[in-house]
């Protein structure tokens, strides 16, 4: 059993948790992920590591209460336990010897964009952090992100905070001014990553995307997480999760990500029914 050391609601649907897993803390590097199960009947859900606390032995994850299992996790509180927590999995992000980069985060993707930006920034890399949210109320980690970048560009879809527009607009503006960046790192929903990759292609800037497909074991065993990169099939769990955004077959990726949509909606409806029945 793994103890929830800390829980913080970042907004209505996004939750930050620190879960006690000292073995994971010891080895975790930016870009890697964990797989957890909430309870005995739970499914294995992959979440990217959003940070670690070497003192408490806690691993930070940030998730959106969007499906049945994440909703269940979100109902847990500090001091509660979850059943399983395994990691670190996947390859760490390769920072090569970049000097000047852009990190893009969309919505919940900022949970990962932030620690990556911070790791680079702390190494002395010049970092532009371009983040986007639907609206002002959904902004997360603003204070933290300010400390993790040379320049922070906040975008909102409705213009309620920062500049109005999508992350693609924000990125395009940065690159239009100066296309001489070594790399762009992208964290966010698949559709956003697809369009970001189109923008960076226009400017010819290397683009690294963090893929988060459906998976079970996270060790290369099931092959459920396969994606096509440059015409070749890759397993995101062991070959990734980072890939060249210009080579990913985005349409296939989005199709595969939606594979269990109906089943997930059913499970969610059942859960809501039970919860309402209880109250």
Partner 1 sequence: MAERNMSPNKTPIPEQDPQVRNKNFDEVALGYTEEMAVSEAARCLQCKNRPCVAGCPVNVQIPEFINLIANRDFAGAYKKIKETNSLPAVCGRVCPQETQCEAKCIRGIKGDSVGIGRLERFAADWAMKNLDEKAEMPKRNGHKVAVLGAGPAGLTCAGDLAMLGYDVTIFEAFHKGGGVLVYGIPEFRLPKAIVQAEIDKLGEIGVKLETNILAGKVISIPELFEEEGFDAIFIGTGAGLPMFMHIPGENYNGVFSANEYLTRTNLMKAYSEEAATPMIRFKKVAVVGGGNVAMDSARCAQRLGADTVYIVYRRSMEEMPARQEEVHHAIEEGIVFNILTNPTQIIGDDKGYVKGIECIKMELGEPDASGRRRPIPIEGSEFVLDVDAVIMALGTNPNPIISDNTPDLEVNKKGCILADEETGATSIPGVFAGGDIVTGAATVILAMGAGKVAATAIDKYIQEKK
- Cβ atoms of 242 and 232 within 8 Å: the answer is no
Is cis: bond before 103, omega within 30 of 0?
A: no
Q: Minimum distance between the CB of residue 33 and partner 1, rounded to whole angstroms?
A: 12
Residue among 172 and 239 whose Cβ is closer to partner 1:
239
Nearer to partner 1, 60 or 234 (CB): 234
User: Are 137 and 12 within 8 A, CB to CB?
Assistant: yes
Distance in angstroms (rounded) separating the CA atoms of residues 70 and 84: 14
* Residue position matching structure tokens 């803390």: 25
Q: How far is the CB of 101 from partner 1 (least distance, A)?
A: 27
Residue 263 beta carbon to partner 1: minimum distance, rounded to whole angstroms: 4
User: Between residues 23 and 164, which has the closer beta carbon with respect to partner 1?
Assistant: 23
Q: How far is the CB of 233 from partner 1 (least distance, A)?
A: 7
In whole angstroms, the minimum distance from the beta carbon of 142 to partner 1 comes to: 33
The three-point CA angle 202-102-243 to 5° equals 70
Q: Which is nearer to partner 1, 259 or 269 (CB)?
A: 259
Instruction: Give the residue with the Cβ less far from partner 1, 28 or 102.
Output: 28
At 186, list the tokens. Answer: 């992208």
Shortest distance in whole angstroms from residue 84 CB to partner 1:
4
| Nearer CB in complex with partner 1: 98/235 | 235
Cβ distance to partner 1 smaller for residue 83 or 273: 83
Q: How far is the CB of 91 from partner 1 (least distance, A)?
A: 10
Q: Would you tell me which residues interact with partner 1 (CB under 8 A)?
A: 23-24, 27, 37, 41-44, 68-69, 72, 83-89, 216-217, 219-224, 226-228, 233, 238, 252, 255-256, 259-260, 262-264, 267
Unique residue bearing structure tokens 């893009």? 104
């Amino acid at each position: 059993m793994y103890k929830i050391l800390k829980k913080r609601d970042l907004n209505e649907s996004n939750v930050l948790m620190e879960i006690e897993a000292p073995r994971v803390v010891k080895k975790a590097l930016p870009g890697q992920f964990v797989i957890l199960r909430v309870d005995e009947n739970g499914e294995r859900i992959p979440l990217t590591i959003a940070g670690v606390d070497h003192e408490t032995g806690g691993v930070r994850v940030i998730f959106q209460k969007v499906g049945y299992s994440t909703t269940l996790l979100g109902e847990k509180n500090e001091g509660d336990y979850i059943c399983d927590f395994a990691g670190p999995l996947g390859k760490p992000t390769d920072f090569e010897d970049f000097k000047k980069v852009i990190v893009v985060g969309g919505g919940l993707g900022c949970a990962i964009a932030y620690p990556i930006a911070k790791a680079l920034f702390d190494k002395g890399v010049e970092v532009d952090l371009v983040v986007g949210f639907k609206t002002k109320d959904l902004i997360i980690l603003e204070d933290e992100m300010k400390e993790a970048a040379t320049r922070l560009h906040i975008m909102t879809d409705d213009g309620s905070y920062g500049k109005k527009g999508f992350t693609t607009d924000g990125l395009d503006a940065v690159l239009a001014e100066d296309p001489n960046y070594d790399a762009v790192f992208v964290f966010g929903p698949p559709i956003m990553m697809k369009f970001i990759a189109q923008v960076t292609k226009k400017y010819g800037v290397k683009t690294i995307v963090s893929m988060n497909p459906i998976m079970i074991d996270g060790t290369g065993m099931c092959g459920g997480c396969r994606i096509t990169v440059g015409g070749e099939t890759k397993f995101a769990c062991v070959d990734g999760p980072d890939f060249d955004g210009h080579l990913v077959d985005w349409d296939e990726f989005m199709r595969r990500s939606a594979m269990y949509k109906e089943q997930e909606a059913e499970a969610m409806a059942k859960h809501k029914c039970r919860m309402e029945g209880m109250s």
